Amino acid sequence: MIPNDSLDGWTPPVPRRTIARPAAAGSLLTAPLDESPANSTAAAVRRITEALARVDPNHPALSSYLEVLRSLATSLEESGQAVPARLDQIWQGDGVTGHDPATGPQNPISPPLALYDVGDGWAEGVVTLGLPYQGPPGLVHGGVSALLLDAALASANALMGTDGMTVALDIAYRRPTPLYTPLTVRAKQIRVEGRKRFVSGEIRDSGGVTVTASGVFVGR
Amino acid sequence: MIPNDSLDGWTPPVPRRTIARPAAAGSLLTAPLDESPANSTAAAVRRITEALARVDPNHPALSSYLEVLRSLATSLEESGQAVPARLDQIWQGDGVTGHDPATGPQNPISPPLALYDVGDGWAEGVVTLGLPYQGPPGLVHGGVSALLLDAALASANALMGTDGMTVALDIAYRRPTPLYTPLTVRAKQIRVEGRKRFVSGEIRDSGGVTVTASGVFVGR
């Protein structure tokens, strides 16, 4: 960790609300999927990550790719900002959802899962996951399912005009969730008790529900 | 999705056990952290992902980086294998843990979290997470905490010589988990009832526990 990464003394800004209420039915709840340089760059890194998972680790060409990637990493690091400054910009400017590790098109880690207001309080999106998200053979990692559901639950909560930190997330794995198959991820706020918001969600493949989730958020 | 990605008709191999029991105390439970080309390439992509999160999305140099990344992605895609063939190799050859999205050093998505047998049944590791893993301002995404805990729970379960699929994962968020701070992630199998294995885990920062997890695995 380089010294300017320290967040000691940094005061988190109150995030700008990224969702207007009520959202128009059908509207995108997560960050814009345009072909901006930031989105496109992340998409290219995502392709590299998927391709690397398909390459034999003993492939003789890996070493030459390594040199190019290292050189690129060094250049990009020189173009970057110190973390506290960058965080202030993310939270007051270009919006966190672009960087979200589940839904953010600017984050190469995310698939990304785009979520829409599909009516009746549901936040819903469809995503197909490849090798980088594998747990058991041919199946989605259980922790990745949890990551996607956590994001969907938070989005469904925000859709109802409430926000808050997750205090509990319970996941039940009912059937295996396959890779390379379109998966529907959806969530809905079920009820509010004081500052507590209860939200449920699920992942479905063509055969029905594979994973369910219940979450509790506590708002301000 | 290109046609040869289909897993229809593909039979998942029974994974080769990657953990011998009993593991020597102090031994690594996750994939080797050597500087192999596959590990080093993933590490370089990880640096790019972190650096991209620090670059202003309007930075004029992004477009030139984009061209290089796209060209590299295309070359790598040409060096890759069809998914079913690659999956067979992963599961019968080089070991899944290298590709695990939480612990795998060959997977740019993972931090990676390396887990060790630290005695008394605990699987434990220390990890520092940067911007790509952010949820709320300056904090770890709740779904990322779930991903790391799921992996730690599975590792603790395997450490006791049992395996199995996760059927339930309950996460409680007790305090915010900070970015750019060493976090200890650990888990331990608590009890076995028939085919059910109960495992608990937690994430700690220097101030104590931030997140706890309970999981139930069902073995063969």
Cα dihedral sign, A103-A105-A110-A111: positive
Q: What does the angle CA B138 – CA B142 – CA B148 come to, to the nearest 5 degrees?
A: 105
d(CA B130, CA A37): 22
- Say which residues have a Cβ less than 8 Å from residue A163's Cβ, sequence separation at least 6: A17, A157, A217, A219, A220
Q: What mean pLDDT, rounded, does chain B reach?
A: 89
* Residue A106 buriedness (CB in 10 A; 0-12 / 13-18 / 19+): buried
Q: Which of A117, A91, A89 is nearest to A30 (CA)?
A: A117
Phi, psi of A214 (to 5 degrees): -125, 135
Distance from B21 to chain A by nearest Cα, in Å? 20
Residue of B nearest to A141 (CA): B101
Sheet harboring B183-193: ordered strands across? A116-117, A122-127, A183-193, A196-205, A208-218, A165-173, B165-173, B208-218, B196-205, B183-193, B122-127, B116-119
What tokens does B139 get? Answer: 């904090």
B143 vs A contacts (CB less than 8 Å) = 101-102, 146-151
Q: What does the angle CA B121 – CA B20 – CA B46 come to, to the nearest 5 degrees?
A: 80
CA-based end-to-end distance of chain A: 33
Alpha-carbon dihedral A172, A175, A180, A181, rounded to 10 degrees: -100
The secondary structure of residue B17, as a DSSP letter, is P
Contact assessment for residue A89 and residue A81, using Cβ atoms and an 8 Å cutoff: yes
A56 vs B contacts (CB less than 8 Å) = 81, 89
ipTM, interface predicted TM-score of the complex: 0.91
d(CA B103, CA B115): 8
Residues 88-117 of A with CB under 8 A from B: 89-91, 94, 96, 98-102, 106-109
Model confidence at B22: pLDDT above 60: no
Alpha-carbon dihedral B192, B193, B196, B201, rounded to 10 degrees: -40
Q: Is the peptide bond before A37 cis (omega within 30 degrees of 0)?
A: no
| Contact call for B86 and A53, based on CB within 8 A | yes
DSSP bridge partners of A214: A170, A200
The secondary structure of residue A96, as a DSSP letter, is G
d(CA B133, CA B111): 9
Is residue A192 within 8 angstroms of chain B, CB to CB? no
| Contact call for A57 and B169, based on CB within 8 A | no
Model confidence at B169: pLDDT above 60: yes
What tokens does B51 get? Answer: 């650096």
| Contact call for B142 and A150, based on CB within 8 A | yes
d(CA B47, CA B198): 36
Model confidence at B14: pLDDT above 80: no
Query: For residue B4, what pLDDT is reported?
Result: 55
pTM of the model as a whole: 0.91
Cα dihedral sign, B101-B107-B108-B113: positive
Contact assessment for residue A135 and residue A143, using Cβ atoms and an 8 Å cutoff: yes
Tens of pLDDT along chain A (220 residues) come to: 344 566 667 676 665 444 444 556 689 999 999 999 999 999 999 999 999 999 988 888 899 999 999 999 999 999 888 888 888 777 776 666 899 999 999 999 999 999 999 999 999 999 999 999 999 889 999 999 999 999 999 999 999 987 788 899 999 999 999 999 999 999 999 999 999 999 999 999 999 999 999 999 998 7
DSSP bridge partners of A177: none
What tokens does B40 get? Answer: 């080093």
Residues 130-189 of B with CB under 8 A from A: 130-139, 141-144, 146-151, 154, 165-173, 176, 178-181
Angle, in degrees to the nearest 10, between helices A62-79 and B37-54:
20
